[in-house]
Every structure is written in C-alpha cells, then in structure tokens.
Amino acid sequence: MLSGPVDHANAIVSIHPGAGGVDAKDWAQMLMRMFLRWAERRGYKTEVIDFQEGDEAGIDGVTITIAGDHAFGYLRSEIGVHRLVRISPFDANARRQTAFSAVEVQPDIEDEIDIVVKDEDLETTTMRAGGKGGQNVNKVETAVRMKHLPSGIVVVCRAERSQLQNRRMALKMLKARLYEQEMQKREAEAAAYQASKTQIAWGNQIRSYVLAPYRMVKDLRTAHETGNVDTVLDGNLDDFIEAYLLAAAGGTLGKGGVAEDLS
C-alpha cells in the first residue's frame, strides 16, 4: 500500500478555503487542527511555514510540513476537496451551511531528488510578513514570494523568521511542486492514476463531514464511514487512510455505489 516512489517522504500540506464564505475559512482551520492532531498522534514533527489568518474567523490558507515515516504515503489519501455540513455558528438564523476546503499534499523530496532550478528562471520578491508576531514582524521584509517563470508556479513563505530561512523554505516548496508536476506527467498514461486524478478536481469532494441534521463522516471514494465525527476531527484518520490505501492498491477507488450525496 505504501510502495510509491516517494511514499516514504515527508509531506508538505496546504489547505485553502473554497465555497462557503466565513464557514469555509473556519472549516479550513478545523482541517488544519485535524491534520496537526493526526501528526501528533503518530509522533510526527510538524511546522507551520505559512499561515494567513481570515478577516472575521478561520484562515485564508495555511502550509504545514509534516515529517515522519511515510508521511506523504499516508497523507496522499487526503488530497482533494473536503466538505462540511453543519449549523453555521456565523448565521444569526442558525441555518445549515455547506462549506468546502481543498487539501494539497506534496512530497518533501529536495534532499533525495535532484530538481534543478536555475536562478534566471526565478522571480523573487520580499514583503512584510504581517499578522501576529515579534515587534519587527511588520517592519522588516522577511516574507518571500518566489515564482518559477517557466512553469508559472508561485510559492510564498512567511514563517516570521529570517528572510534567508524563508527563501530556503520557499525554494524547497517550489522544488516539491516541480517534482509533483513531473511525476504527474510521467504517470499520465496510468489508468489508475487517471481515475484518482478526477477525484482531486476542485468541486468533487472526496469526503463529507456532516454535523447536522445527523452526524457522519463518509469517504465518497471508498464508502468508509463513521458516526463518531468528533474523533475524526480530533485527528483519528487512520481508518479512512487505510481504507483509501487498500482501495487504491486494489483498484477499487470510486466503486461500490459511493456517489451518494450527503445533503
């Protein structure tokens, strides 16, 4: 189940809110906590390298590194759109709200795969990190925005440390994305990969988390489900991850009548 060429690698996890307004931003922060708790349960080391706080609540985006045995191999099961259905705490009329957030996972492979990035292909700019932090955080331009001109890939690192450290981390993130892009090209002919690729597209949720009118978490690719929503949101993802890996290895992802829409 963990025999992929980079399954053993550490992971770089990015979470972005989608449709759902403030609820989506709050949902993105709930997902961030879920993955941090999952990593803590497994004894993995985590670091938040980019955090953008939402204006009213939640987050506008976050990037986390998760270091541990086969971190990427496990977390590739989480790539895609996660859907939350609940009574919105931000709605004065207490109406049910659906929110979406997307999870991206890349392998951290800088130290073992030689990805060559030429200086002339990079456009690097600096900016103030902003947000909460030390007294210099809004005065010194420590945050780094790096664009790879040939591919158009853009990464930002604003970990509120030195500009040099942010530049190094941005380059690592860029190399990880270039590697992932190359891997996707190489695997484009594999039918199994193409089947899973459709599950990654924005707007095609991979898992629904329903808190009202009933309580259930259901993976739409494997049909694995549980009514114990709180433990899942507290980082107990192993059963869902194992179900995904077994289905992916057996070529049964998306089969067995799992297209049910939890509304």
Q: What is the pLDDT along the chain (263 residues), one digit of tens a residue?
A: 888 888 999 999 999 998 888 999 999 999 999 999 999 999 999 999 999 998 888 899 999 999 999 999 999 999 989 999 999 988 878 888 899 999 999 888 765 556 778 888 888 888 877 655 555 445 667 888 889 988 888 989 887 568 888 888 888 888 888 888 877 776 664 444 344 444 333 557 899 999 989 999 999 999 999 999 999 999 999 999 999 999 988 888 876 444 445 54
Q: What is the pTM of this model?
A: 0.70
Q: Which residues contact 228 (CB under 8 A, 6 or more apart)?
A: 217, 236
Q: Which residues contact 164 (CB under 8 A, 6 or more apart)?
A: none
Per-residue DSSP letter, 60:
E
Amino acid at 179: Y
Pair of tokens at residue 63:
């990037």
Phi-psi region of 254 (alpha: psi -120 to 50; beta: other; left: phi over 0): left
pLDDT of the residue at 13: 95
Pair of tokens at residue 27:
């949902």
206 in Cβ contact with 240 (< 8 Å): no
49 in Cβ contact with 61 (< 8 Å): no
**Measured distance CA(198)–CA(202) in Å, rounded:** 9
Pair of tokens at residue 97:
């709200």
pLDDT of the residue at 85: 94
Pair of tokens at residue 175:
């190399």
63 in Cβ contact with 106 (< 8 Å): no
pLDDT of the residue at 203: 56
Q: How many CA atoms lie within 13 A of 55 on its CB side?
A: 2
**Measured distance CA(200)–CA(9) in Å, rounded:** 20
Per-residue DSSP letter, 19:
S
* Residue 54: closest CA among 83, 93, 15, 84: 15
Pair of tokens at residue 14:
């990015």
